[in-house]
Amino acid sequence: MIKQKKKTLKATSLFPLSTLIKPYLKTERVKTNLQDLDRIFLNKEMLQKFIQVSIGRKKTMVLVDSGRFKEGISLIERCVTNAKEIECKREMANTLIDQGNLLGHTGQFKEVKQVMGFALKLSREINYRSGEIYCLLNIGGVYGILGNLPMAKKTLEEALLLSDEINDQRAKATLLNDLGYLHNVLGDYKKAFYYFKYSLKIREGIDDISGIGLSLNNIGYLHTRFGEYEKGLEYYEKALKIYEKIGNLSMQALLLDNIGTVNITLGKFRAARKLHRKVLRIREEINEVRGESITLINLSTIALGLKDYKEAKRCVAKAISIAEKIQDRDTLCRALVNLTSQLIEQRKLKEVRKELKRGLQLAEELKSKPYMAHLLLHKGRLETAEGNWKRAEESFKNSIAIFERLGEKMGLARACYFFGSTLLEKGNISESKDYLKKAQSIFSKIGAGVWLKKVEKSLQRLKES
């Protein structure tokens, strides 16, 4: 008996026992779970496998932070196998949740739903509320990416209620963040701001450093939506410092991507290209597929700004291919906004109409006001090119109305510029001047130098006419 006790202590000395059982004592004490633990701790072989799973899961998190997703997936698969063998439902649920998170990073969203669905079933069987929350959080995120926004909202709100029930502040902050992102896609920036700021407040209270960085990024992003680029960059820089300090490559790539996007808006195309190429290398190295497609869209926008149509087409075609492969409808719609813009620039009007129809249908299905506003703007440009003045006017006015409701300055200024230019072409001098002056004022305030030059050329033409 004494000999057996010594062996047990030796087996657990590799890892503090309190750390291993802590997750089990956080929430409800369920008889089944305690029986599982008793069975594991009395069996040396099972206990060693339990320790391997626990350490493996922690190592996986380190691999994720350093962007080594392939290694992480391989390790978590071994952890899932070991978790099955020890027949502990709670540890199995936790391991599946980790696996689902990793699959999400590499764009395998169908697999995420399957894995999280199984983990959710296990969590509910043993009344594991914390596990249930994280499963719903991930399933809600996948619904959002695949374009089912009502289901995303419903799932995230269900998880939010559960996080309040068990007072899981970390989970609550993450859910508030995801609801903020959802409202951002829908174009409800006021609600998005509320959720992002609420999430930041909780994260600061619990000293969640990585979470604070994410909230700062999201708040910065919304400031750029309103044309407040200096404020946005301040938030981005703060967040970037956090992720550089903790060595999270994935989040560093996201921040650099966002900083590069501000440079695109301000017309600093070469500086933006340098940043986005660096981001693309990181995302390719760490196999972050969804992020790769977003960076390709940004590189396509830069190429378009530099009149390199061949490169613009190559980048957006690759982005569309990735988005379709992983069924990421949000990024697909973003890519179609980019594609229609470059096709109009090249006067490929038949292709524009085809892709525009596809984009408008997708924006309608996603209920995304920002995408709808951008696509209606491009529709106005298409109708102008084809001489359909009435339809062009209707599209421009609808686009302008949406941008005004959203408070999205850059989009509004661009819509006013293109509509003003159309009116000038028609000879409607007075109305043209109003729209061009409005565009000039916004471009000047937000520092969009390239666009300011364009509108000033149109105003000069107006003066001469």
Residue-wise pLDDT for 377-403, tens only, equals 999 999 999 999 999 999 999 999 999
pLDDT in tens, 45-58: 767 777 777 787 88
In whole angstroms, how large is the CA radius of gyration of the chain? 26
Grade residue 260 by pLDDT with cuts at 50, 70 and 90: very high
The correct answer on CATH 3.40.50.300 for the domain covering 368-465 is no
The answer to whether the 1-167 and 368-465 domains have the same CATH topology is yes
| Structural domain boundaries in the chain | 1-167, 368-465
| 264 vs 256: CA distance, rounded Å | 12
Give the residue from 309, 306, 367 showing the smallest Cα distance to 333.
Answer: 367
Superfamily of domain 1-167: Tetratricopeptide repeat domain (1.25.40.10)
Rounded to two decimals, the pTM is: 0.78
Structure tokens at 106: 């590499």
Q: What distances in angstroms separate CA 296 from CA 236, 278, 319, one per listed residue?
A: 20, 12, 6
Report residue 237's pLDDT band, with 50, 70 and 90 as the boundaries: very high
Q: Report the candidate in 57, 60, 38, 50 with the shortest Cα–Cα distance to residue 14.
A: 50
* Average pLDDT value over all residues in the chain: 87
pLDDT bin (cut points 50, 70, 90) of residue 17 is: very low
Q: 19: pLDDT confidence band, cut at 50, 70 and 90?
A: very low
The backbone region for 167, taken as left when phi is positive above 0, alpha when psi lies in -120 to 50, beta otherwise, is left
Residue 39 has what pLDDT?
56
Percent of the chain beyond pLDDT 90?
66
Region 340-357: mean pLDDT is 95
Mean pLDDT for 10-14 is 29
Convert the pLDDT of each residue in 180-210 to its tens digit. 999 998 889 999 999 999 999 999 999 999 9
Would the pLDDT of 79 be above 70? yes
- The reported pLDDT for the residue numbered 77 is 86
